Protein backbone atom coordinates (compact mmCIF):
# COMPACT_ATOMS: atom_id res chain seq x y z
CA UNK A 1 0.00 0.00 0.00
CA UNK A 2 1.21 3.47 -0.82
CA UNK A 3 2.39 5.44 2.18
CA UNK A 4 0.64 8.67 2.95
CA UNK A 5 1.46 11.37 5.44
CA UNK A 6 -0.92 11.78 8.33
CA UNK A 7 -3.68 14.23 7.46
CA UNK A 8 -3.93 17.14 9.87
CA UNK A 9 -7.40 18.64 10.09
CA UNK A 10 -7.22 22.43 10.36
CA UNK A 11 -8.75 24.41 13.27
CA UNK A 12 -10.94 26.17 10.71
CA UNK A 13 -12.74 22.91 9.90
CA UNK A 14 -13.06 22.12 13.62
CA UNK A 15 -14.65 25.53 14.20
CA UNK A 16 -17.13 25.03 11.34
CA UNK A 17 -18.10 21.63 12.76
CA UNK A 18 -18.51 23.17 16.24
CA UNK A 19 -20.87 25.76 14.72
CA UNK A 20 -22.85 23.07 12.88
CA UNK A 21 -23.20 20.99 16.05
CA UNK A 22 -24.41 23.97 18.08
CA UNK A 23 -26.87 24.89 15.32
CA UNK A 24 -28.12 21.29 15.25
CA UNK A 25 -28.69 21.36 19.02
CA UNK A 26 -30.66 24.59 18.74
CA UNK A 27 -32.79 23.26 15.85
CA UNK A 28 -33.55 19.99 17.66
CA UNK A 29 -34.87 21.89 20.71
CA UNK A 30 -36.96 24.26 18.55
CA UNK A 31 -38.38 21.34 16.55
CA UNK A 32 -39.34 19.43 19.69
CA UNK A 33 -41.62 22.28 20.77
CA UNK A 34 -43.75 21.97 17.63
CA UNK A 35 -46.29 19.16 17.45
CA UNK A 36 -45.38 17.09 14.38
CA UNK A 37 -46.97 13.87 15.56
CA UNK A 38 -44.82 10.86 14.75
CA UNK A 39 -42.42 13.03 12.78
CA UNK A 40 -41.07 14.56 16.02
CA UNK A 41 -38.97 11.52 16.85
CA UNK A 42 -37.95 10.99 13.21
CA UNK A 43 -36.68 14.58 12.97
CA UNK A 44 -34.91 14.40 16.36
CA UNK A 45 -33.10 11.20 15.35
CA UNK A 46 -32.24 12.56 11.89
CA UNK A 47 -30.57 15.59 13.50
CA UNK A 48 -28.77 13.40 16.05
CA UNK A 49 -27.47 11.06 13.32
CA UNK A 50 -26.26 14.06 11.30
CA UNK A 51 -24.44 15.45 14.33
CA UNK A 52 -22.89 12.05 15.04
CA UNK A 53 -21.72 11.74 11.44
CA UNK A 54 -20.02 15.15 11.63
CA UNK A 55 -18.27 14.20 14.88
CA UNK A 56 -17.04 10.87 13.46
CA UNK A 57 -15.92 12.25 10.09
CA UNK A 58 -14.09 15.33 11.35
CA UNK A 59 -13.47 15.37 15.12
CA UNK A 60 -12.62 11.66 15.05
CA UNK A 61 -10.85 11.90 11.67
CA UNK A 62 -13.02 9.13 10.18
CA UNK A 63 -12.89 10.85 6.79
CA UNK A 64 -9.08 10.73 6.75
CA UNK A 65 -8.64 7.27 8.30
CA UNK A 66 -7.31 4.26 6.39
CA UNK A 67 -9.94 2.09 4.69
CA UNK A 68 -9.67 -0.73 7.21
CA UNK A 69 -10.41 1.65 10.11
CA UNK A 70 -13.42 2.97 8.24
CA UNK A 71 -14.57 -0.61 7.73
CA UNK A 72 -14.40 -1.25 11.49
CA UNK A 73 -16.47 1.91 12.18
CA UNK A 74 -19.13 0.92 9.64
CA UNK A 75 -19.18 -2.68 10.92
CA UNK A 76 -19.87 -1.41 14.45
CA UNK A 77 -22.97 0.47 13.32
CA UNK A 78 -24.00 -2.43 11.11
CA UNK A 79 -24.09 -4.75 14.13
CA UNK A 80 -25.98 -2.12 16.11
CA UNK A 81 -28.52 -1.89 13.27
CA UNK A 82 -29.00 -5.67 13.35
CA UNK A 83 -29.61 -5.59 17.11
CA UNK A 84 -32.06 -2.67 16.98
CA UNK A 85 -33.74 -3.53 13.68
CA UNK A 86 -34.43 -7.20 14.17
CA UNK A 87 -35.65 -6.74 17.75
CA UNK A 88 -38.01 -3.97 16.69
CA UNK A 89 -39.53 -6.04 13.89
CA UNK A 90 -40.77 -8.27 16.72
CA UNK A 91 -41.98 -5.58 19.12
CA UNK A 92 -43.67 -3.36 16.55
CA UNK A 93 -45.60 -6.33 15.14
CA UNK A 94 -46.89 -7.75 18.42
CA UNK A 95 -49.97 -5.66 19.17
CA UNK A 96 -51.30 -5.19 15.65
CA UNK A 97 -51.77 -8.87 15.01
CA UNK A 98 -55.37 -9.85 15.87
CA UNK A 99 -55.96 -13.24 17.36
CA UNK A 100 -56.45 -15.90 14.69
CA UNK A 101 -59.14 -17.74 16.63
CA UNK A 102 -62.57 -16.19 17.07
CA UNK A 103 -62.53 -17.06 20.76
CA UNK A 104 -60.50 -14.93 23.14
CA UNK A 105 -57.38 -16.68 24.45
CA UNK A 106 -57.91 -18.63 27.65
CA UNK A 107 -55.00 -16.98 29.46
CA UNK A 108 -54.01 -13.35 29.03
CA UNK A 109 -50.49 -12.38 30.03
CA UNK A 110 -51.65 -9.10 31.56
CA UNK A 111 -54.36 -10.35 33.91
CA UNK B 1 5.72 0.69 27.66
CA UNK B 2 6.95 3.03 25.01
CA UNK B 3 6.37 6.68 25.67
CA UNK B 4 8.69 8.53 23.40
CA UNK B 5 7.48 7.13 20.13
CA UNK B 6 10.35 4.86 19.06
CA UNK B 7 9.51 2.40 16.30
CA UNK B 8 8.72 -1.11 17.45
CA UNK B 9 10.12 -4.08 15.54
CA UNK B 10 6.83 -5.38 14.16
CA UNK B 11 6.04 -2.10 12.37
CA UNK B 12 7.53 -0.67 9.21
CA UNK B 13 6.90 3.00 9.90
CA UNK B 14 5.81 5.21 12.83
CA UNK B 15 2.70 6.05 10.87
CA UNK B 16 1.75 2.39 10.55
CA UNK B 17 2.38 1.99 14.28
CA UNK B 18 0.01 4.86 15.08
CA UNK B 19 -2.66 3.61 12.66
CA UNK B 20 -2.55 0.23 14.35
CA UNK B 21 -3.06 1.80 17.78
CA UNK B 22 -5.96 3.87 16.46
CA UNK B 23 -7.54 0.80 14.85
CA UNK B 24 -7.36 -0.95 18.23
CA UNK B 25 -9.03 2.05 19.87
CA UNK B 26 -11.84 1.93 17.30
CA UNK B 27 -12.41 -1.77 17.95
CA UNK B 28 -12.80 -0.92 21.65
CA UNK B 29 -15.23 1.86 20.73
CA UNK B 30 -17.30 -0.58 18.65
CA UNK B 31 -17.75 -2.71 21.77
CA UNK B 32 -18.83 0.48 23.56
CA UNK B 33 -21.35 1.26 20.79
CA UNK B 34 -22.95 -2.14 21.33
CA UNK B 35 -22.73 -1.76 25.14
CA UNK B 36 -24.72 1.48 25.06
CA UNK B 37 -26.78 0.04 22.18
CA UNK B 38 -28.36 -2.49 24.54
CA UNK B 39 -29.56 0.35 26.76
CA UNK B 40 -30.88 2.33 23.80
CA UNK B 41 -32.74 -0.78 22.66
CA UNK B 42 -34.33 -1.23 26.12
CA UNK B 43 -35.32 2.43 26.05
CA UNK B 44 -36.84 2.16 22.56
CA UNK B 45 -38.96 -0.88 23.40
CA UNK B 46 -40.29 0.60 26.63
CA UNK B 47 -41.05 3.96 25.05
CA UNK B 48 -42.86 2.13 22.27
CA UNK B 49 -44.95 0.21 24.83
CA UNK B 50 -45.69 3.11 27.21
CA UNK B 51 -45.62 6.33 25.16
CA UNK B 52 -47.81 8.49 27.41
CA UNK B 53 -45.98 7.64 30.68
CA UNK B 54 -42.63 8.26 28.96
CA UNK B 55 -43.91 11.61 27.66
CA UNK B 56 -45.03 12.72 31.12
CA UNK B 57 -41.81 11.55 32.77
CA UNK B 58 -39.60 13.14 30.09
CA UNK B 59 -41.22 16.53 30.66
CA UNK B 60 -40.23 16.36 34.35
CA UNK B 61 -36.60 16.91 33.32
CA UNK B 62 -35.13 20.40 33.33
CA UNK B 63 -34.73 21.32 29.65
CA UNK B 64 -32.53 24.35 30.34
CA UNK B 65 -29.99 22.31 32.28
CA UNK B 66 -30.02 19.55 29.66
CA UNK B 67 -29.57 22.07 26.85
CA UNK B 68 -26.73 23.82 28.70
CA UNK B 69 -25.01 20.46 29.24
CA UNK B 70 -25.28 19.61 25.53
CA UNK B 71 -23.58 22.90 24.63
CA UNK B 72 -20.86 22.32 27.26
CA UNK B 73 -20.13 18.81 26.01
CA UNK B 74 -20.02 19.82 22.33
CA UNK B 75 -17.63 22.64 23.27
CA UNK B 76 -15.44 20.15 25.13
CA UNK B 77 -15.29 17.97 22.02
CA UNK B 78 -14.05 21.00 20.09
CA UNK B 79 -11.34 21.78 22.67
CA UNK B 80 -10.32 18.09 22.59
CA UNK B 81 -10.03 18.22 18.80
CA UNK B 82 -7.90 21.35 19.21
CA UNK B 83 -5.54 19.56 21.62
CA UNK B 84 -5.08 16.82 19.03
CA UNK B 85 -4.30 19.47 16.43
CA UNK B 86 -1.83 21.17 18.81
CA UNK B 87 -0.07 17.84 19.32
CA UNK B 88 0.07 17.09 15.59
CA UNK B 89 1.64 20.48 14.93
CA UNK B 90 4.04 20.27 17.93
CA UNK B 91 2.55 23.26 19.78
CA UNK B 92 3.57 21.94 23.17
CA UNK B 93 2.19 24.78 25.31
CA UNK B 94 -1.13 24.89 23.45
CA UNK B 95 -1.69 21.13 24.00
CA UNK B 96 -1.72 21.69 27.78
CA UNK B 97 -4.05 24.71 27.53
CA UNK B 98 -6.60 22.92 25.30
CA UNK B 99 -6.48 19.78 27.45
CA UNK B 100 -7.14 21.81 30.61
CA UNK B 101 -10.04 23.55 28.84
CA UNK B 102 -11.48 20.12 27.97
CA UNK B 103 -11.13 18.93 31.56
CA UNK B 104 -12.80 22.10 32.88
CA UNK B 105 -15.75 21.73 30.47
CA UNK B 106 -16.08 18.04 31.35
CA UNK B 107 -16.19 18.96 35.04
CA UNK B 108 -18.84 21.63 34.39
CA UNK B 109 -20.93 18.95 32.66
CA UNK B 110 -20.66 16.64 35.67
CA UNK B 111 -21.44 19.53 38.04
CA UNK B 112 -24.66 20.37 36.17
CA UNK B 113 -25.53 16.66 36.23
CA UNK B 114 -25.21 16.67 40.04
CA UNK B 115 -27.62 19.64 40.27
CA UNK B 116 -30.08 17.76 38.05
CA UNK B 117 -29.86 14.54 40.08
CA UNK B 118 -30.44 16.51 43.30
CA UNK B 119 -33.55 18.04 41.74
CA UNK B 120 -34.92 14.59 40.86
CA UNK B 121 -34.52 13.47 44.49
CA UNK B 122 -36.35 16.64 45.66
CA UNK B 123 -39.19 16.07 43.18
CA UNK B 124 -39.79 12.43 44.20
CA UNK B 125 -38.63 11.20 40.81
CA UNK B 126 -36.11 8.57 41.92
CA UNK B 127 -37.51 5.05 41.40
CA UNK B 128 -38.43 3.40 44.67
CA UNK B 129 -40.83 3.76 47.57
CA UNK B 130 -41.06 7.57 47.47
CA UNK B 131 -41.58 7.80 43.73
CA UNK B 132 -44.57 9.96 42.80
CA UNK B 133 -45.02 11.21 39.25
CA UNK B 134 -47.88 13.50 40.38
CA UNK B 135 -45.71 15.26 42.99
CA UNK B 136 -45.07 18.33 40.79
CA UNK B 137 -48.64 18.48 39.49
CA UNK B 138 -50.26 18.14 42.94
CA UNK B 139 -48.97 21.34 44.47
CA UNK B 140 -47.34 24.26 42.75
CA UNK B 141 -44.73 25.41 45.22
CA UNK B 142 -42.21 22.55 45.60
CA UNK B 143 -41.24 22.34 41.91
CA UNK B 144 -41.26 26.09 41.28
CA UNK B 145 -43.43 25.96 38.16
CA UNK B 146 -45.19 29.05 36.87
CA UNK B 147 -48.99 29.04 36.57
CA UNK B 148 -49.06 28.08 32.89
CA UNK B 149 -46.49 25.26 33.15
CA UNK B 150 -48.26 23.96 36.22
CA UNK B 151 -51.60 23.84 34.41
CA UNK B 152 -50.05 22.12 31.35
CA UNK B 153 -48.35 19.57 33.55
CA UNK B 154 -51.59 18.78 35.40
CA UNK B 155 -53.35 18.33 32.07
CA UNK B 156 -50.64 16.07 30.70
CA UNK B 157 -50.57 13.85 33.80
CA UNK B 158 -54.38 13.60 33.76
CA UNK B 159 -54.40 12.58 30.09
CA UNK B 160 -51.69 9.99 30.65
CA UNK B 161 -53.70 8.47 33.51
CA UNK B 162 -56.78 8.35 31.24
CA UNK B 163 -54.78 6.74 28.41
CA UNK B 164 -53.36 4.06 30.69
CA UNK B 165 -56.84 3.60 32.22
CA UNK B 166 -58.34 3.02 28.77
CA UNK B 167 -55.67 0.43 28.10
CA UNK B 168 -56.45 -1.26 31.44
CA UNK B 169 -60.14 -1.31 30.49
CA UNK B 170 -59.31 -2.93 27.14
CA UNK B 171 -57.35 -5.57 29.02
CA UNK B 172 -60.40 -6.26 31.18
CA UNK B 173 -59.39 -4.74 34.54
CA UNK B 174 -62.27 -3.89 36.89
CA UNK B 175 -61.01 -0.50 38.16
CA UNK B 176 -59.59 1.29 35.13
CA UNK B 177 -59.41 4.62 37.04
CA UNK B 178 -57.10 3.41 39.82
CA UNK B 179 -55.28 1.15 37.37
CA UNK B 180 -54.48 4.18 35.20
CA UNK B 181 -52.81 5.99 38.09
CA UNK B 182 -50.86 2.91 39.17
CA UNK B 183 -49.79 2.17 35.61
CA UNK B 184 -48.53 5.71 34.93
CA UNK B 185 -46.54 5.68 38.16
CA UNK B 186 -45.07 2.26 37.36
CA UNK B 187 -44.14 3.08 33.78
CA UNK B 188 -42.77 6.50 34.71
CA UNK B 189 -40.47 4.69 37.15
CA UNK B 190 -39.33 2.59 34.23
CA UNK B 191 -38.44 5.79 32.41
CA UNK B 192 -36.54 7.16 35.40
CA UNK B 193 -34.70 3.86 35.90
CA UNK B 194 -33.52 4.18 32.31
CA UNK B 195 -32.77 7.88 32.82
CA UNK B 196 -30.53 7.22 35.81
CA UNK B 197 -29.03 4.09 34.23
CA UNK B 198 -28.15 5.72 30.93
CA UNK B 199 -27.04 9.15 32.16
CA UNK B 200 -25.26 7.45 35.08
CA UNK B 201 -23.29 5.17 32.78
CA UNK B 202 -22.55 8.16 30.57
CA UNK B 203 -21.38 10.16 33.61
CA UNK B 204 -19.17 7.23 34.64
CA UNK B 205 -17.54 7.39 31.21
CA UNK B 206 -17.02 11.13 31.71
CA UNK B 207 -15.31 10.49 35.06
CA UNK B 208 -13.00 7.92 33.44
CA UNK B 209 -12.38 10.43 30.64
CA UNK B 210 -11.50 13.12 33.19
CA UNK B 211 -8.93 10.77 34.73
CA UNK B 212 -7.43 10.08 31.30
CA UNK B 213 -7.30 13.83 30.57
CA UNK B 214 -5.45 14.39 33.85
CA UNK B 215 -2.87 11.81 32.74
CA UNK B 216 -2.54 13.54 29.34
CA UNK B 217 -2.09 16.95 30.98
CA UNK B 218 0.71 15.65 33.22
CA UNK B 219 2.46 14.01 30.26
CA UNK B 220 1.93 17.00 27.98
CA UNK B 221 3.48 19.31 30.59
CA UNK B 222 6.66 17.21 30.32
CA UNK B 223 6.60 17.91 26.59
CA UNK B 224 6.03 14.27 25.60
CA UNK B 225 3.70 14.88 22.66
CA UNK B 226 4.67 16.35 19.30
CA UNK B 227 4.19 15.76 15.57
CA UNK B 228 6.12 12.46 15.77
CA UNK B 229 4.39 11.02 18.79
CA UNK B 230 0.82 11.90 19.81
CA UNK B 231 -0.98 8.54 19.84
CA UNK B 232 -2.32 8.87 23.43
CA UNK B 233 -3.79 12.31 22.68
CA UNK B 234 -5.41 11.02 19.49
CA UNK B 235 -6.85 7.86 21.09
CA UNK B 236 -8.11 9.47 24.30
CA UNK B 237 -9.59 12.12 22.00
CA UNK B 238 -11.49 9.37 20.14
CA UNK B 239 -12.85 8.13 23.48
CA UNK B 240 -13.90 11.65 24.50
CA UNK B 241 -15.72 12.22 21.18
CA UNK B 242 -17.47 8.87 21.55
CA UNK B 243 -18.83 9.93 24.95
CA UNK B 244 -20.01 13.15 23.28
CA UNK B 245 -21.86 11.11 20.61
CA UNK B 246 -23.67 9.11 23.31
CA UNK B 247 -24.92 12.37 24.80
CA UNK B 248 -25.97 13.67 21.35
CA UNK B 249 -28.49 10.80 21.35
CA UNK B 250 -29.37 10.85 25.06
CA UNK B 251 -30.37 14.52 24.97
CA UNK B 252 -33.23 14.33 22.41
CA UNK B 253 -34.35 10.87 23.56
CA UNK B 254 -34.60 11.73 27.26
CA UNK B 255 -35.38 15.46 27.32
CA UNK B 256 -37.42 16.08 24.18
CA UNK B 257 -40.10 13.38 24.04
CA UNK B 258 -43.27 15.46 24.41
CA UNK B 259 -41.95 19.00 24.76
CA UNK B 260 -44.74 20.44 22.61
CA UNK B 261 -47.19 19.67 25.43
CA UNK B 262 -45.67 21.98 28.04
Integer angstrom CA distances of residue B26 from A67, B14, B49, B99: 13, 19, 34, 21
In a domain? residue B15: no
Per-residue pLDDT at A5: 58
The vertex-A42 CA angle with B28 and B50, nearest 5°, equals: 90
Band (A102; pLDDT cuts 50, 70, 90) = very low
The answer on pLDDT for A91 being more than 90 is no
Put simply, the answer to whether A17 touches B48 (Cβ < 8 Å) is no
Residue B248 lies in a domain: yes
pLDDT at res. B2: 52
* Chain A stretch 54-83, residues whose beta carbon is closer than 8 A to a beta carbon of chain B: 55-56, 58-61, 65-66, 68-69, 72-73, 75-77, 79-80, 83
Domain carrying residue B100: 63-132+188-261
Q: Are B88 and A6 an interchain contact pair (Cβ–Cβ within 8 Å)? A: yes
Specify the pLDDT at position B4: 66
pLDDT at A99: 46
Whether A87 contacts chain B with CB within 8 A: yes
CATH number at B241 reads: 1.20.120.80
For A9-29, what is each residue's pLDDT tens digit?
999 999 999 999 999 999 999
Q: How confident is the model at residue A101 (pLDDT cuts 50, 70, 90)?
A: very low
Average pLDDT, integer, range A58-81: 96
Each residue of B93-130: b (16+ CB within 10 Å) or e? Answer: ebbbbbbbbbbebbbbbeebbeebbebbeebbbbbeee
Sequence-separated (6 or more) residues with CB below 8 Å from residue B217: B96, B99, B100, B103
Cα three-residue angle B174-B44-B39, rounded to 5 degrees: 115
pLDDT at A106 over 70: no
Confidence at residue A103, expressed as pLDDT on a 0 to 100 scale: 47
pTM: 0.91
Give contacts of B237 with chain A, Cβ < 8 Å: 59-60
Query: In this structure, is residue B182 part of a structural domain?
Result: no
- Assigned domain for B199 exists: yes
**Domains in chain B: how many in total?**
1
Reported ipTM: 0.92
Tell me whether residue B99 is in a domain.
yes
d(C-alpha A40, C-alpha B55), whole Å:
12
Q: What is the pLDDT of residue B138?
A: 86
Nearest of B68, B78, B70, B73 to residue B99 by alpha carbon: B78
Distance of CA B195 to the CA centre of its chain: 9
Mean per-residue pLDDT pooled into runs of 10, chain B (262 residues): 74 91 97 97 94 93 96 98 97 97 98 97 94 88 84 89 84 77 92 98 98 97 93 97 98 94 78
- Residue B69 placed within a domain: yes
Amino acid sequence: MAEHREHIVSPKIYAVILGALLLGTWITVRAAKIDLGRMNIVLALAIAVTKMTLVILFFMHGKYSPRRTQLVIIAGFFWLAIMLGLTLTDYTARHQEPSRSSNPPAISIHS
Amino acid sequence: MHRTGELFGQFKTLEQQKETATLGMWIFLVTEILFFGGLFLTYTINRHEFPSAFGVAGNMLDLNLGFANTIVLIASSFTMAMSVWSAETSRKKAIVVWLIATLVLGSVFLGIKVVEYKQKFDHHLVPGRNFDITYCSNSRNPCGLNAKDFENEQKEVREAIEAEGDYAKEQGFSYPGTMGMTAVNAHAQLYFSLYFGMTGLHALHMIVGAGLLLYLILEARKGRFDANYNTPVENIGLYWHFVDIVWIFLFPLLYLINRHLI
